[in-house]
Structure 1
Amino acid sequence: MTSDFSSLEDQLREATAELDQVVARARVDLARFERDNQPTPAELRDLQESAERGDLGFDMQELARRVDEGQDSWAAIFSGDSPNSILLQGLLTRMIAENGEATRAAIEEDDDFDPFPPTEDL
């Protein structure tokens, strides 16, 4: 009976170690993705200017005002850490409506795109 539990404990330790490795890899991948996808200072400046002019809608103009006044930052807004992130909803909804079909077509035409990556990549 003791050997049965010993075997189960060994299996549990192995599974836990494997899960820890997967989680560690996922954290590294997420950090790399976040680092590689940060907007450049020039992109943030362009965004700020477009939003201030009202080119991106009233909500984005309001966000630009808050960023300009130091009440918020684009990093906090885009990460969802800002309570004002909800103001992105209008722009995102418009962007999906305007670009959804083109995005779908581009994905369908991309032979390298795989919505189901191999399990070793997870």
Structure 2
Amino acid sequence: MDHYICVAGLLCFILGLVHSILGEVLIFRNLSKSKKIIPTIATSKLKVKHFRIIWATWHLTSLFGWCIGAILLMVATKYNIQTNELFQFILTSTTITMFCSSLLVFIATKGKHLGWVILLIIGILTLLEILK
């Protein structure tokens, strides 16, 4: 089992879980005027349909993170990944995605949202595997 990729995969799951929970607690609960599963916004500046798609997109991010985590955990359990072109493609595309995501979150939040750090760590861990 490759430990770098395993840790990167687990971090994807943890980040997705924290992202969804904190989003609900810190953002959507404060903006919602209902206690429904899919919230509706309490301000008139944003239409309900727009708020609902923002909510859905927020949680899609977590689901995509879990998908990447599952893929990385599967890659981590394969011992011959260095010789397999598909696994190299998965690792390279994941590395690029994590570095770009980290940079995007860093720039958008001026470094105040700590998600960029976890995304950067995941990118570094997958890059270390590529460079082995």
Task: Choose between structure 1 and 2 for higher RCO, CA contacts under 8 A separated by at least 6 residues.
Answer: 2
* TM-score under structure 2 length normalisation: 0.28
Q: Which has the larger radius of gyration?
A: 1
* TM-score under structure 1 length normalisation: 0.29
